Structure 1
Amino acid sequence: MYDSDLSQALESPLGSEETGSESCCFDTTNVQEQILRLDVGLHLAVSRNPKTMQGVATLLLAVDRMKKSLTSRGRELSDDELCGAIMDSLMDETIVKTVENFSTGERKITFQRVNSVRECTLCDTTKKDVIYASGELKLQAVTLKGGQGDRKVNFRLSRYITACVSPDDGQSVVLSITNQNLHISCSMNGDKAELNLEECTEEELRKISNDGHMDRFLFYKRTTGISLTTFESVKCRGWFISTSYEQENQPVEMCKVDTAHRLTSFVVNIG
């Protein structure tokens, strides 16, 4: 289960250093409460006070995103999945600067990391788990037998706020190997995108701009079907993290979404 205070997520940017402010959801002075029915078995209690228009817009966007996530699954959610849907829907009030270069027409977009980190493992739709081949700095997909669960890679999934032009882009994330300074990256090599594991400091990953090469660490995380997730490279659009459809012990690589014999959907098991 997720141990999170929704009032903190709706009130101010995660990780804010401001103190002394009161919660915009749990101030009990002159509270008027309204119950909103979101889906079967799920209701949202809204405590209303005279607050800023920004706070109201944040709440409405969060509710709208959560409703879409719930209705697309077509089945009753477990407690863990429900908490995950709620936390995924939260819109952090983070200002993302977009600067346009008028001489080239290109826009500089800053990706800001927020204090929302999950640990997870990945397995593809044929039940192959992602493992780490430490001697080669490569990830592989393997069907693990009983007692081999410790071979799974534990990832840190860090969220970023972006100035996405389209909501279909999904969440921007960085995938890092837990307890190691290694992060998945994607860069073009000729006409093909390559997946690598690279070292990078936490400070360098705090803010990422698309005008340099650092956006190679970013991926758009999208939910498809029932509890399936894809990861598309932010730098190399149209290229997805994938595994081999049939073969064992093959490297995790980038591929186009329609590439034959490659799987681009994963089950994200939150630790």
Structure 2
Amino acid sequence: MACQGHCILTSDAHQTDMMYPDISGFGELTCPDHHLAMICQCDMKKDIKVELSPHPHSMRQVVNIIIAVERLKNIKKMSSGKFCEDALLNFFLENVIEEREMKPLNTTPIYHKSDRTLQCTICDKYKKTLVQSNKLTNEDLHLKAVTLSAGSIQYKVKFSMSMYISTTSQNKGRAVCLGISDTNLYIACSKSDGSSPVLFLKEVNGSLNTIEAGDPNEYDSLLFFRKESGTAYSSFESVKYPGWFITTAFEDWKRVEMYQVPTDRTMNFTLEDQQEIKNQI
């Protein structure tokens, strides 16, 4: 073999100037008293030598180097009496360099409004319709679930359900905003002072074309994951508070509220009187 010079491996950016005399045989590990050190040399007929700079190494690294040296003795691919550059590079890639899993940085989800809006009314699976409380009584503004007679259908709330596309992958369904048609009121889920999330109608005057998680105006409280089950039902889970769903009670005239599952309330809804419209974004 006619390979001149040294092949030096080091895991530190600072190369040591210290060189070690050749030794015969497989190799040697030394640890001077004044600091941790590791020297691994392989002398094959004075042609190949592998050296490590004297910096602290783990036992795993020591074992890897010993294995690498043994495999290096068996490399036979030569070019003009020397190692081919590609062969030597492939050797180090396969035997010396360790793989490490790189995890992506946490990114803030951003939701962009699509050009689709679905106008509809919403009923729970017991055929109770969502209505505005102040349309029937003098109570504060909120939603109730009520079984309406044929002569009371004018009290149905018509919703404009806007679809959103997220910059991050989601497995919980399509993000939507539920606004009351011809108003600036939207269903929202929020909490304060460590309390449980509550459902209310939020007045919005700004643009909702783009909603970012952690928005200072809490526009992210308007977002819900709509998940369809079967061919009939949809559920609405808060994007801001995972695990909390829009629910109704079995009885009439009860307030529509946020609940965690499992619960004896229903979180399954049907979308009635559907009409899809195109938005100008």
Q: TM (normalized to structure 2)?
A: 0.56
Matched, 1:111 2:111: yes
Give the equivalent residue in structure 2 for 1:162. 166
Alignment of 1:1-271 (within 5 A): 106-134=106-134, 135=138, 136-166=140-170, 168-189=171-192, 190-203=194-207, 205-212=208-215, 213-245=218-250, 247-260=251-264, 262-269=265-272, 270-271=274-275
For the residues of structure 2 that align with 1:124 and 1:164, how far apart are their CA atoms? 30
Structure 1 SS opposite 2:236 = strand
Q: Is the 8 A contact 1:188 1:236 kept in 2?
A: no
By how many angstroms is 1:201 displaced? 2.1
Q: Which amino acid aligns with 1:130?
A: L
CA root-mean-square deviation? 1.6
Please list the CA deviations of residues 83-127 of structure 1 after superposition, one character each: whole Å capped at 9, or x if unmatched.
xxxxxxxxxxxxxxxxxxx9xx64222111111111100000111
Q: Is the 8 A contact 1:228 1:265 kept in 2?
A: yes
Structure 1 SS opposite 2:262 = coil
For the residues of structure 2 that align with 1:220 and 1:163, how far apart are their CA atoms? 14
For the residues of structure 2 that align with 1:257 and 1:225, how far apart are their CA atoms? 19
Structure 2: gaps of 5 or more residues: 1-103, 276-281
Please list the CA deviations of residues 213-269 of structure 1 after superposition, one character each: whole Å capped at 9, or x if unmatched.
321010001101331000000001100011002x11111110112112x11000011
For the residues of structure 1 that align with 2:206 and 2:164, how far apart are their CA atoms? 13
Structure 2 SS opposite 1:192 = coil
Structure 1: gaps of 5 or more residues: 1-101
Structure 2 SS opposite 1:108 = coil
Please list the CA deviations of residues 59-79 of structure 1 after superposition, one character each: whole Å capped at 9, or x if unmatched.
xxxxxxxxxxxxxxxxxxxxx
By how many angstroms is 1:129 displaced? 0.4
* Alpha carbons of structure 1 residues 191 and 259: separation in structure 2 relative to 1, 3 Å: farther
Structure 2 SS opposite 1:147 = helix
| Larger proportion of strand | 1
Structure 2 SS opposite 1:226 = coil
Q: TM (normalized to structure 1)?
A: 0.58
Structure 2 SS opposite 1:107 = coil
Rg comparison, structure with higher value:
2
Q: Which amino acid aligns with 2:225?
A: Y
% same residue: 34
